[in-house]
Every structure is written in C-alpha cells, then in structure tokens.
Structure 1
C-alpha cells in the first residue's frame, strides 16, 4: 500500500479529512494484523480503534511523512502485545459466527484455525512481517529480539502454518 506523504502532511496539520483518508487506506491491514495476532474479532477491533485514536492524537509528533505506515503499525503492535499479556491464563472462544476479513469463509477459517495454533510470539512476528510489512531487523527492534531470532521464529512459524494447511 502506498501512502501519499502529502496527505500525511495535511493530517499532521490537524486536517481531520486527511487523517480519515489515511485511516481508510490502512484500516484493513491494521485489522487483519490485529485479528490474526489476537485471534479474536472484537479485541482486534478494540486495539485498532485505540491505535487510530492514539495516532490521531499524536500524528503531529510524526517526524517523517514517509514513516506513517511503520509508525501506526508500531502503535498497533504494542497494543497487541499488551492485549496478549492480558490473555495469559484465559481461554478465548473462537467466534465462528463472524465473517473473516476478505477471504472466502472456508479458506479464511482454515487459515485462522492454523494461525491460532501458533504461539503468541510466532503470530505476532508473522503478522508484523506479512500485514505490517516489517523487516526482521525492524521486528527485532520493536520486540527487543535479535533479528536472526526473528527470522528463525518466522521461518518455523511459516513452516508450521504450511504443514497445518496441507494436512
């Protein structure tokens, strides 16, 4: 997804319509990231909403217009990490009644089921790479991990996903 730096500049100048345009351009990716990371549609909606509110309030502090996408995904990934910590010791039901984002239901359900079986850190790393477009170095910096560790965990997680989807 290509973010127009001029729109970001307008949003930084408190143009609500420009921020709404930015939000519209990243919402699906933000939601997809949160949904596959957290495994729960309502929690995904909540963290995306919180992310957008924080981004709107803090966009004037964004140093580079070109960094908008990475910046908003960093906010989201931090919120997802906090939410995952809340899950410790809790079992959340998979809500099968809600449609999955932009996929036919059977394929989306299979992917969601396989993805939900990954460990929390594996889901977060794969989500950041696939939906956020982060490099292993960026993920490592955000998660306070060595980038080699990120690559190996991502590789193992993708291999697990492949195996689950092929069976």
Structure 2
C-alpha cells in the first residue's frame, strides 16, 4: 500500500501524498515526542517534515527506503528545533496543547526512556517501537552500524540498571 501511494504521490497526486503521510503520522509522533519532550514541538517537527518530504519526494531514488528517508528528515527537524530552543530565551510560558493523544503503551515507554541520554533513547525507540534494524538506524542517524549496536547494548544495560534500581526503591 505504501509503495502504491508513494508512486502516485511522486506523479503529483496530492491525495495519495496525504494518505501516505497519514500512514506515517503515529510513527513520526513517537519519534518526535521522544526527542522533543512536548506535543507542540513534536507537531512542529512533523509539520516541517511533511513539508520537506513533499518538496523533496522526487529526490528519493529507491522507494523501499522511504521510511528510513522520512525518519532521517524528522530527526534532523527535531535537532533543528532543539538547536533553536538553546538559542532562544523564553519570556513567558505557553501551555502545552496536545497534538496527538498518547496511548498507554507509548506514554509508559516514554516514561521508561526519559532518564536515558538522548543518544541511547532514540536508538532504543527506533529499534523497539519502530522496528528498524541496526543497519536502518545507522542510515537514519548517519552513524556507523557498530556505533548503533554499541549504543543499543549500552542503552539496554542502562535501562536494566534503572529498572533494578526502581524495583529496589519500591521494596525498601
């Protein structure tokens, strides 16, 4: 289905492009929310990603790498937002407005991953929640596959240690 929508979208069918993006929204939200920590920024990253995808869809040479390509764009948009936030000083607080309602599993997963450093968190999310393999993740994040494997292993270990610590704290 994605392949069919992708071919039609590349030929200029805007309805096919919209349906294609609809199939990817939940996945994009999970990744963006993990990176950015709030719904407003995640929505901005997704919107920027969709626009960039629309403008550059013809540059995608091999359709089978669509999800990897889209995820890489999304992560770059998330990094851009994080960079801009570091340069911006906020004078007032804007209340969060939900873009997408988290399901229980996603909320729980974000809570589990929250204490981890971003370099481990995003790899664990892409691997376990989005189903990418280490080769795909290395392409998405533009790093060596051996680095992805190492961070995946360390992330698992840190996660395991954090869970053991919480279990001990709960029984004390």
Q: What is the aligned partner in structure 2 of residue 146 from structure 1?
A: 144
Aligned-pair CA distance for 1:165: 4.5
Unaligned residue ranges in structure 2 (runs of 5+):
167-172
Q: What is the aligned partner in structure 2 of residue 127 from structure 1?
A: 125
Q: What is the aligned partner in structure 2 of residue 77 from structure 1?
A: 75
Compared CA separation, residues 164 and 119, structure 1 to 2 (3 A): same
Aligned-pair CA distance for 1:149: 2.1
Compared CA separation, residues 41 and 165, structure 1 to 2 (3 A): farther
- The structure number with the bigger radius of gyration is 2
Q: What is the aligned partner in structure 2 of residue 103 from structure 1?
A: 104
TM normalised by structure 1 equals 0.78
1:37–1:124 contact (8 Å) kept in structure 2? yes
SS at match of 2:9: helix
Name the Cα RMSD after superposition.
3.1
For residue 35 of structure 1, the aligned residue among 25, 33, 40 is 33
SS at match of 1:66: helix
1:70–1:132 contact (8 Å) kept in structure 2? no
Unaligned residue ranges in structure 1 (runs of 5+):
none
CA distance in 2, matches of 1:14, 1:115: 39
Aligned length: 161
SS at match of 2:116: coil
